[in-house]
Amino acid sequence: MKCEFTAQTPINPTEDTDKVMKTLSNMFDYDEVVMAGDYISVNGGMDSLLKLKDALEVRRIRNTARKMLINGSYDGVIYFKLNKQAAFSGTVNFTEGDSPLGEIRVKIETDDVEGFIDWLAPLQK
């Protein structure tokens, strides 16, 4: 299954760039880091999402994650946002609105949306 992801978040004037990188590293392993203005983004393939997959299982929120992924999927692309503050502490938390520190915006391109969702967030029993 083909899968490429990008996660992007703002670096606020009051934030330390190293701490923002730690935030992203808590959720993802990544192949590349791109700094553009006051934003930082990371990208990679399916293996880069294993930390996120494990975090969904540990928190037991795979069913919620499935709903967010399904709701955010359009034509082979899945969009969702993670709470940046929660990610800094190593906790995965989906968000729909804006948060004071900003959020981590994630874009996943895949050739099999349903298969990818089943892989990342299999149904809990």
Hey, is 53 helix, strand or coil? helix
For the chain, domain boundaries: 3-120
Residue type, 4: E
- Closest CA relative to residue 65, chosen from 108, 2, 22, 6: 108
pTM of the predicted model as reported, rounded to 2 decimal places: 0.93
pLDDT in tens, the chain (125 residues): 899 999 999 999 999 999 999 999 999 999 999 999 899 999 999 999 999 999 999 999 999 999 999 999 999 999 999 999 999 999 999 998 777 778 999 999 999 999 999 999 998 76
Show Cβ contacts of residue 75 under 8 Å, excluding neighbours closer than 6 positions: none
Burial of 16 (0-12, 13-18, 19+ CB in 10 A): exposed
Q: Cα dihedral sign for 2, 78, 81, 17? A: positive
Domain 3-120: homologous superfamily in CATH: Ribosomal protein L5 (3.30.1440.10)
